[in-house]
Every structure is written in C-alpha cells, then in structure tokens.
Amino acid sequence: MKKMILSPCCRIVKGYCNSCIYDLQKNNIYKFSNTLLSIFSSNGEKDEIIFANSPTADDNNQSKFIEDMKAEDLCFEIDDSNDFQSINTKISYTPQFCANCIIDRDAKSSYSLKRCEELIAPLLCEAICFRYFDPLSLDTLLSNLSFFKESTCRSIEINFTPKQVVSIDDCLKLKEQNERIFKIILFSQANNQIITIGTDLTIQYSKENLIDEFQCGFVSDFYMNAQTQFYIESKNHNNCLYKKIAIDRKGKIKNCPAMNEEFGTIDKECEDLRSIVQTHSFQKYWSISKDQIEVCCDCEYRYACHDCRCFLKDKSNIKSKPLKCNYNPYEES
C-alpha cells in the first residue's frame, strides 16, 4: 500500500493560528492555516515520520494543499515496506568555547586585531563577522584580514557601512585574497537581494542601514533562516547569543556589541577569553530559547527567526518579544 509522507528534511512548526513547514535542506518556509493541520499525523516514534493523510472528501482546500506540497517536493509517496528515517535534529555539543564572533571597527578603533586574533584563537570560533561602520580602503581591509590567515575560523563575513562603495569586482578580489570570506553584506540598498557567486560566496544587498551596532535585531522574512543547524540551536538555546563573543568598536569584550554588559577590553592585560566566556554572567542569555519568549512561543516562525535579546518590547522583562518585530502570530492570515 502507498502512503504519503512529509519529506524527511521537513519539519512542521505549529503556531497559534498558522503553522509552517520548514524545508531544512532548501532553507524554505511554507506557511499554512492551522485548519489544514488535520492532514498530518505521526507514527509516534522517536524518528518521527509525518504522514499526509488523504484529504477529507470534497475538501478542496486540503486537496490543493497536498498538490502544492507535492509540487514543492515537501511530500511524496512511499510503499508500506519502505524503511524511512527522518533527519536527525537532536543537538550535539562541540568542544568550541564560542562558535561565532563579531568584530566591530570604525575609523577610531585602536585595539589591535593581531591581539584580537591571538585571544580568539583558543576559543575555536568557526565563524567571524567583521562589521565596518566607516569606509576603509580594500588594502586596509586585506591587512586586517591577514591577521586571521592562520586562525581556526573557517568562514568570514564582512558587513560594510552604507558609505562604502563596493563593486562585484571588489568582492571577487577580496575572495581571491582570502578564501574564508563566504558572505559580504552591503546595506542601504534599494532592494533586498542575494547574489551567489560560485559555490561559496554570497553577496547580500540589504535595505537596512548598518550605521552602528544599534541597527541590529531586525525581524523580517529576509532574515529568516530555515536550516538544520539553526533550527536545532533555536530549539535548545538563544539562536543569536549562544556561543557568541563580540568585540565592539572600542575593543570591549561582550556577548552582544549593542548591550551594555562588558567583560574587559582587548589589550595586553587581557590574557584569556576562555575564562571570561565560561562565566555565568557572560552566558546569561545562552539558554533562553524561542519557546520561552512571550508571543514568539506561539509563533510558527520561532525556529527560523533570530532572537534579539538586546532590543525588547518590554525592557524590564528578559523574556519579552523582540522590539523590532511587527508580526502578530495571533492574527489569522
């Protein structure tokens, strides 16, 4: 007998009025009304298989929904005898002290990037994001990046101030000089757009205005991320601040560059970042997952949406909804 199942790379996230199917392989999100949820049932096992049942007779909405899902490869038919396993979305812990690092710079930044790299290296960070709030020459940028040539970091993202003029050729030159650069973001653009060059360079044009560290934490479709690692992290930790370290433009060590809490400065006196990031106060936000946040806990986007803990609807409530979100999951749409 044939059965229809949800693709193993897909997950259903239920919200208050609507739900979403996240395609964790293609990084796509499909929203649908909760009135269609009855189509799905599970086998109730650990590696859950979600079945898409036959539509109720004469229910055109259900029939159309199943056809749409088939067209997007969100579900397909299997034989009863097929042994099928869903993808693993259980968290696994890595030995890294921090997984990602933000390094902010402006024209007045005087802290040493060499010292910065020496201190960050023992944390085993995988990803570094440089954010430049003032324009700089490509030569200066390349010299900045040269300190990270031997680092443990595997990927580098660069965010340029809107005042910086950057051509595609410049981006290619940067990539040529430093293979680790995988993403370049240009702000204050007419439209949001993503261009992929080759297999491992993305140039992102954003309508937002990155003039300082406070222009962060925006919530929109454009910033949603439906990928396995992010989905897993969102279910278990704060998906922005977990295993993050930031060096602000003055060289202050922080969990988030826009937050007031600071943990010393990148200078000769600072000997070890591991002991700093392992303190309870540094990790204050790390265990706050989206399921604990007011309103977000009922939102179908909660495992794809960055959880800003710096800009809050209610500053006195550490678990209140991100300030820069206007979405209302309690509204039928």
Segment contacting ligand SF4 by CB under 6 A, of 136-144, 147-155, 192-200, 212-220 = 212-220
Span of 65-73, 158-166, 183-191, 325-333 interacting with ligand SF4 by CB under 6 A: 325-333
Q: Which two tokens stand for residue 83?
A: 């042994």
d(CA 226, CA 66): 21
| Residue 216 interacting with ligand SF4 (CB under 6 A) | yes
Size of the site for ligand SF4 (CB under 6 A): 22
Using CA atoms, how far residue 25 sits from 61, 239, 297, 300, 330, in Å, is 26, 19, 24, 18, 28
User: Residue 308 CB, nearest distance to ligand SF4 (Å)?
Assistant: 3
Site string for ligand SF4, 233-262 (x = CB under 6 A): -------xx--------------x-x----
Per CB under 6 A, the segment of 33-41, 174-182, 215-223, 269-277 that binds ligand SF4 is: 215-223
Evaluate whether 29 touches 21 at the Cβ level (below 8 Å). Answer: yes
Q: Which stretch in 29-37, 157-165, 179-187, 296-304 sits in contact with ligand SF4 by CB under 6 A?
A: 296-304
Task: Report the run of H or E that residue 51 belongs to, with start and end.
Answer: strand 50-52
322 is a site residue for ligand SF4 (CB under 6 A) = yes
Phi first, then psi, for residue 20 (nearest 5°) are -130, 150
DSSP output for 246-282 = EE-TT-BEESSTTSS----BSSTT---SHHHHTSTTT
Q: How far is CA 316 from CA 31, 85, 238, 259, 310, in A?
A: 32, 44, 18, 14, 11
Distance in Å, CB of 118 to ligand SF4, minimum: 24
Member of 217, 249, 276, 277 binding ligand SF4 (CB under 6 A): 217
Answer for which of 36, 98, 299, 312 binds ligand SF4 (CB under 6 A) is 299
Q: Is 135 exposed, middle or buried (0-12, 13-18, 19+ CB in 10 A)?
A: middle
Q: Which is nearer to ligand SF4, 201 or 297 (CB)?
A: 297
For residues 105 and 172, give the distance between their C-alpha atoms in angstroms, rounded to a whole number: 22
Applying CB under 6 A, the span of 27-35, 133-141, 177-185, 301-309 interacting with ligand SF4 comes to: 301-309
Dihedral sign of CA atoms 272, 278, 280, 282 in order: positive
Residue (128 or 299) nearer to ligand SF4, CB: 299
**Contact of 7 with 276, CB cutoff 8 Å:** no
Q: Is residue 160 within the footprint of ligand SF4 (CB under 6 A)?
A: no
17 sits near ligand SF4 (criterion: CB under 6 A)? no
Instruction: Select from 10, 276, 296, 312 the one that contacts ligand SF4 (CB under 6 A).
Output: 296
219 lies in the binding site for ligand SF4 (CB under 6 A)? yes
Q: Which is nearer to ligand SF4, 41 or 328 (CB)?
A: 328
**With respect to ligand SF4, which residue has the nearer C-beta, 175 or 302?**
302
How many residues appear in the chain? 333
| Contact flag: residue 302 with ligand SF4 (CB under 6 A) | yes
Within 86-145, the residues that bind ligand SF4 by CB under 6 A are: none
Side-by-side strand order, sheet with 75-79:
40-42, 50-52, 2-6, 75-79
Residues 6+ apart with CB under 8 A from 180: 148, 153, 154, 155, 156
| Nearer residue to ligand SF4 within complex by CB, 258 or 277 | 258
Strands of 28-33's sheet in order across: 10-14, 18-23, 28-33
Residue 13: its H or E element: strand 10-14
Nearer residue to ligand SF4 within complex by CB, 52 or 219: 219
Which residues contact ligand SF4 by CB under 6 A? 216-217, 219, 240-241, 256, 258, 295-296, 299, 301-302, 305-306, 308-310, 321-322, 325, 327, 329
